[in-house]
Structure 1
Amino acid sequence: MEKKVRIFFTVIIIIGIVAPAFGRTNEDMDRIIIGFEPAGSKQNILDVIKKYNGEVLEEIPAINAIVVNVPSKLRIALNSDMTLNKYARYIEDDAIISIPPDEITMAPVNSIQLTPDDPLYANLWGIRMIQANYTWNVTTGNKNTIVAVIDTGADYNHEDLSAVNASLGWDFVNNDADPMDDNGHGTHVAGTVAATINNGKGVVGVAPGITIMPLKVLDSNGSGRISDIANAITYAADHGARILSMSFGSWFPSKAMEDATKYAVYTKGTLAFAAAGNDGLQLNTYPAAYNWILAVAAVGYDGNRAAYSNHGAFVDIAAPGGSNDGNQRHDILSTWPGSTYAYAAGTSMATPHASGVAALYWSYNPSLTNAQIGNALIKNADDKGAVGWDKYYGYGIIDAWPANG
């Protein structure tokens, strides 16, 4: 039985939909991930898989894991196999992530001209709340600072997304080099991070001068697997990403995702952000709840905690995510496929605000480590709620220009 997991797209409660198992058509199959120790274990595990009429679908080399299909009727026997338990570090379902039906509304046409000259800049209250517009006097970001947006891909042809470098990306859903977004969520996240500044079009992102690596792990229906996410995380770390922006999560911890994020953070030195979740509950969400990930909660237009935002001991920081109060101007406006623009609310929208601020910090001083950047973000956050850390805002609302605070 596959676990149900969710992505934080809007502020409604999102329940995953279990898709049919892949593999052989003449019997029910279970898709699982098996982690193993690097020395001498893999072949023993492969022998066991063959014994139970299983098939290897793919590998995740960076974390010593394989993805396999096994007949459902043999799953219990497989889990109990003494040889497998001797050599496997873990066995877990390759769970599915799903996005519910689109609840984003399209932005109205707006011809207001401000500085910057992006015509919808007046609608970007989140940018001003975190004072990114002050930081732009010093830096708008460095092209060498790469943010991996691990999501539904990104519309790299969008008029306002010159920061998206499709050649750096990959589509893990279809296993090809075309990370085009056929859902919308990833394009919205990408625009919040780095929509183009002063091009006379649309919006502007928090760090418009950086580079976005678009990694597609969810399909047009918003569904994808843990194995694809783990592969994308290690791919990003191995291909130069300094920051991971992950606007998805699950109630259930995954050993594969844990290993992949540890690899990215501790072995490759990336800084990883993940959404706290939209249940409005004191509820751990993964990967945000892992200690090495910066978990991002959401605040609304008034600067107070958004009612939908999850809270708890795992929350590190807060950022603008939208109010979801029925007034779309109180939500987050960003890019949408087809060179259009849309409003959305959720911790999905808060996460790229935080990722963008980290990109500005790192662009200003590329010599810093991931730990130093993370500590700077926490130290410079604008305290909110109880003095110091609290379970609703973490260390406070992220601040791109602490010198002005």
Structure 2
Amino acid sequence: MRSLAIVLTMLLTSVVHAPGPDRVAVVVYLKDRADLGAVPPGDRRLRRQRVVGELHRVADRAQASLLRLLDAERRRGVVTGVRRLWNVNAIALTTTRELADAIARRPEVASVAADETAFAPVGQIEVNLTQSGAPGLWSLGLRGTGVVVANVDTGVDVTHPDLAARWRGGPNSWFDPNGEHVTPADVSGHGTWTMGVMAGGDASGAAIGVAPDTTWIAAKAFDDGGVATTSGLHAIFQWLLDPDGDPATDDAPDVVNNSWAFSAKGCNLTFEPDLAALRAIGILPVFAAGNGGPYAAGSYSPANNPSAFSVGVVNGADTILSMSSRGPSTCGGRTGVFPDLVASGKDIWTSDLYGMWTTATGTSMAAPHVGGVLALLLSGKPGRTPGQQAAALVAGAHDLGVPGPDNTYGAGRLDAVATWNALP
């Protein structure tokens, strides 16, 4: 058996993506923000349609004047690569530093930020399904049927025997912002590992997925060279809100797992609007807490953002791994402990490239256990809000460490059955 390891969750670095000596890639954020809290309530389909419609309305109005300028500059060859990001009311583009500075001074513009790059991880990986409590929900007939899960990762090997039959299929089920692959692909393996934990089957002779009857879609955050950009990640979160580009159809996923983070510890709210929009349409954004332990106050963004649900890592004996990031964190007004809870993530048997299997360790492997459990819960109790999902996960966690929530284990270790019982 081949053994690999992911040492760190994917890291988003503060390196400017510079296409040329006199050009810069930037993301222009406009001042206007959609008030998603004021969107009228409704059933899931209507709520998602209204949220996406309001995001479009605000962005269309706020960006109109700037888009006319950019169109003119594009014809002059000064601007390339314009990408509208209506989910966060922003526009990504490549241009000269002079024009970028001029855009930053426009009254409707809040800020112009470098379109930073991220690098895919190299390195450590696996987890115990029994420890998560998943078989207890399988015995109730809850295996993820009717639920769609997604990961934002290095891609997925769609040919893998544990994953091939579970891909939803079609153009609304795969997104590559770099345009390298028209169907799911993965040259790193990391995304195939995390998807295996969430949705894998038992083709190896052993069950590897928490929610084996769920359906998956995926977004490839990192290109084949292992690099991602801020604008590409914004575009992915935008795609997750409305994969087919038609707000009238309800094809967004129910669960989204993110096993990546900024490289520097601390608070960075770049993607908080993206996560808030996911919550507004009923999705709880699950994030690996990061492998920044063992010292206190070692949290990473976006996992420590207010709208994220963060997951640390324990071994099979419920002992925290030294790598697991710890709190406290007050990022963006966040309250409570960090991480939110922990899950098994050491030596996890999961799917790998080329139809193989491997073992893996890290918070990257712990987080998809939570994503998989959410799929089981939602298959039996659909329509629960992100707040209800998060509260049930916390209430159902098996307390570890000092009594009560703490900044090492959070609320405790993931327990699927107790979470099911806590979910209203």
Asked if Structure 1 and Structure 2 have the same fold, meaning a TM-score greater than 0.5 normalized by the shorter chain, the answer is: yes
User: Where in structure 2 are there 5+ consecutive unaligned residues?
Assistant: 33-57, 243-250, 329-337
Task: Report the CA distance shift for 1:11/1:306 in structure 2 as closer, same or farther (over 3 A).
Answer: farther
Q: Which residue matches 1:288?
A: 303
Q: Which residue matches 1:92?
A: 113
Q: Which residue matches 2:214?
A: 210
Q: Distance in 2 between matches of 1:260 and 1:13?
A: 18
Q: Distance in 1 between matches of 2:205 and 2:176?
A: 28
Q: Is the 8 A contact 2:9 2:288 kept in 1?
A: no
1:10 is aligned with what amino acid? V
Q: Is the 8 A contact 1:234 1:261 kept in 2?
A: no
Q: Distance in 2 between matches of 1:153 and 1:166?
A: 14
Aligned partner of 2:147 among 131, 145, 148: 145
Counterpart check, 1:373 vs 2:398: no
**2:233 alignment partner, SS class:** helix
Q: Distance in 2 between matches of 1:43 and 1:379?
A: 46
Deviation at 1:90, TM superposition (A): 3.0
Q: Which residue matches 1:187?
A: 192
1:67 is aligned with what amino acid? A
Q: Is the 8 A contact 1:135 1:401 kept in 2?
A: yes
Q: Is the 8 A contact 1:54 1:69 kept in 2?
A: yes
Deviation at 1:212, TM superposition (A): 1.2
**1:401 alignment partner, SS class:** helix
2:303 is aligned with what amino acid? A
Deviations 1:175-220 (A, max 9, x none): 65322112100000000001114x5645421111111111111122
Q: Is the 8 A contact 1:148 1:245 kept in 2?
A: yes
Aligned partner of 1:219 among 211, 214, 223: 223
Deviation at 1:370, TM superposition (A): 2.2
Equivalent residue runs for 1:347-386 within 5 Å:
347-386=363-402
Aligned partner of 2:28 among 34, 41, 47: 34
**1:70 alignment partner, SS class:** strand
Equivalent residue runs for 1:4-403 within 5 Å:
9-11=6-8, 16=13, 18=15, 21-22=18-19, 27-36=21-30, 37=32, 38=58, 40-46=61-67, 53-72=78-97, 75=100, 77-78=101-102, 81=105, 83=106, 86-102=107-123, 126-161=128-163, 162-167=165-170, 168-174=173-179, 177-197=182-202, 199=203, 201-238=205-242, 239-250=251-262, 251=264, 256-266=270-280, 268-280=281-293, 281=295, 282-313=297-328, 314-322=338-346, 331-402=347-418
Task: Report the CA distance shift for 1:139/1:94 in structure 2 as closer, same or farther (over 3 A).
Answer: farther
Q: Distance in 2 between matches of 1:399 and 1:183?
A: 30
Q: Distance in 2 between matches of 1:255 and 1:47?
A: 29
Bigger CA drift: 165-174 or 38-47?
38-47
Q: Is the 8 A contact 1:17 1:98 kept in 2?
A: no
Task: Report the CA distance shift for 1:312/1:171 in structure 2 as closer, same or farther (over 3 A).
Answer: same
Q: Is the 8 A contact 2:286 2:308 kept in 1?
A: yes
Deviation at 1:226, TM superposition (A): 1.8
**2:275 alignment partner, SS class:** helix
Task: Report the CA distance shift for 1:14/1:58 in structure 2 as closer, same or farther (over 3 A).
Answer: closer
Q: Is the 8 A contact 1:65 1:256 kept in 2?
A: no
How many residue pairs end up in the alignment?
Answer: 362
Deviation at 1:47, TM superposition (A): 5.8
1:303 is aligned with what amino acid? D
User: Where in structure 1 are there 5+ consecutive unaligned residues?
Assistant: 1-7, 105-123, 323-330
Deviation at 1:237, TM superposition (A): 2.7
Q: Is the 8 A contact 2:11 2:260 kept in 1?
A: no
Task: Report the CA distance shift for 1:283/1:214 in structure 2 as closer, same or farther (over 3 A).
Answer: same
Q: Is the 8 A contact 2:340 2:410 kept in 1?
A: yes
Q: Distance in 1 between matches of 2:104 and 2:83?
A: 23
Q: Distance in 2 between matches of 1:12 and 1:152?
A: 11
Deviations 1:233-282 (A, max 9, x none): 2222323211110000113755552211111112x111110111112142
Q: Distance in 2 between matches of 1:175 and 1:390?
A: 43
Deviation at 1:21, TM superposition (A): 2.2
Q: Distance in 2 between matches of 1:253 and 1:48?
A: 34
**2:87 alignment partner, SS class:** helix
Matched residues, percent identical? 25
Bigger CA drift: 200-209 or 344-353?
200-209
Q: Distance in 2 between matches of 1:34 and 1:12?
A: 27
2:314 is aligned with what amino acid? V
**1:283 alignment partner, SS class:** coil
Q: Is the 8 A contact 2:10 2:259 kept in 1?
A: no
Bigger CA drift: 147-156 or 94-103?
94-103
TM-score, normalised to structure 1, is 0.81
Q: Distance in 1 between matches of 2:299 and 2:98?
A: 32
Deviation at 1:293, TM superposition (A): 1.1
Deviation at 1:102, TM superposition (A): 4.0
Q: Distance in 1 between matches of 2:353 and 2:168?
A: 16
Q: Distance in 2 between matches of 1:169 and 1:40?
A: 29
